[in-house]
Structure 1
Amino acid sequence: MNVLSISPLRASDQSLQVLAGSAAGGFPSPAADYWEPPISFDDLLNIRAPHVWIVQVEGDSMRDVGIYDGSRLVVDRAITPCSGHIVLAYVDNQPLIKRLARSPSGWLLESANPLYPPITPDEYGAVEVFGVVTWCLNPHAL
């Protein structure tokens, strides 16, 4: 999955209204009349932090974890990456979104699509993990 753009997030003073906190996927909730205070994406996504970036992705190599072509990801540089995290990594200066995994031969970068094999240590000269993906934002109605 290729990265189209990387940019820092900018803070906003706007809040969003919350409707019952969650929406039922099946039957209506009896708590539908319950009011919750507005939420702020700034607070929810930690946007005000200088170590948080947004990344737009291209491709389908991470589709099985809900990251699609055109998704925007929130990437936190302050989180120490470990095996199992989805990360933004630079492989030979090419930014990619992959799942970080450990093998006896070193770190692997795995796709979440069986059509794409893992990237093994012998396939790259240098790899740098930029940050850990904390949120995925997918467009639905544009």
Structure 2
Amino acid sequence: MTGYVGDKTTGFASPASDAIEGPIDLTEILDLRRPSRYPVRVRGRTFFSRGILDGDVLIADTAGQRASGQLVIASVSGQPILAELRLIKERWWLVSGDDSSSPILVDPALDVDIWACVTGVVREHP
């Protein structure tokens, strides 16, 4: 008896059989070989409205370019936070995803720094 061969089945051949791709390499897709890229796990539901769930893994890039509206990992008084970055009147502000706190001015003198820009999200569960 021989093993199963996928092209020897009954019925008709799938019209999409020529579109089957090989294995998906998330390291390559998310460019995780870059020394500036790190996975960061989310705790909380602050950015539920943007599709970020508790337990999701964000891809953070410490060399990423800042853009208004982008999610960032920041440090506020030594505590890491996830926030939306906004440029308002030529100053950068960190804004909560659920309006649970007032916007925070990005200023190293105030112990507020941006650590990384979020470039992707991976969800391990449905």
Smaller-chain TM-score bracket:
0.7 to 0.9
Determine whether 1:120 maps to 2:81: no
Deviation at 1:104, TM superposition (A): 3.0
> Aligned partners of 2:124 and 2:27: how far apart in 1?
19
What amino acid maps onto 2:43 in structure 1? E
* 1:70 counterpart SS class: coil
Q: Deviation digits for residues 7-34 of structure 1, max 9, x if unmatched?
A: xxxxxxxxxxxxxxxxxxxxxxx85432
Separation in 1 of the partners of 2:65 and 2:89? 20
- State the aligned residue count: 110
Aligned to 1:54: 39
Aligned to 1:69: 54
> Identity of counterpart residues, as a percentage?
29
5+ unaligned residues in a row in structure 1: which ranges?
1-29
Q: Which runs of at least 4 in structure 1 moved beyond 6 Å after TM superposition? A: none
Relative to the length of structure 2, the TM-score reads 0.75
Amino acid at match of 2:44: G
| Rounded Cα–Cα distance in structure 1 between residues aligned with 2:102 and 2:124 | 27
Equivalent position of 1:22 in the other structure: none
Question: 1:98 is paired with a residue of what secondary structure?
Answer: strand
- TM superposition shift of 1:60: 1.1
Measure how far apart 1:127 and its partner are: 1.3
Q: Is the 8 A contact 1:105 1:121 kept in 2?
A: no
Distance 1:38 1:77, change over 3 A: same
Task: Give me the TM-score of the superposition, normalised by structure 1.
Answer: 0.67
Secondary structure at 2:49 match in 1: helix
Could you tell me how far 1:91 is from its partner in structure 2?
Answer: 1.0
Computing the radius of gyration from Cα coordinates, the structure with the larger value is 2
Partner-residue secondary structure (3-state), 1:64: helix
- Report the aligned-residue RMSD: 2.3
Structure 2 gaps, min length 5: 1-13
Aligned with 1:78: secondary structure? coil
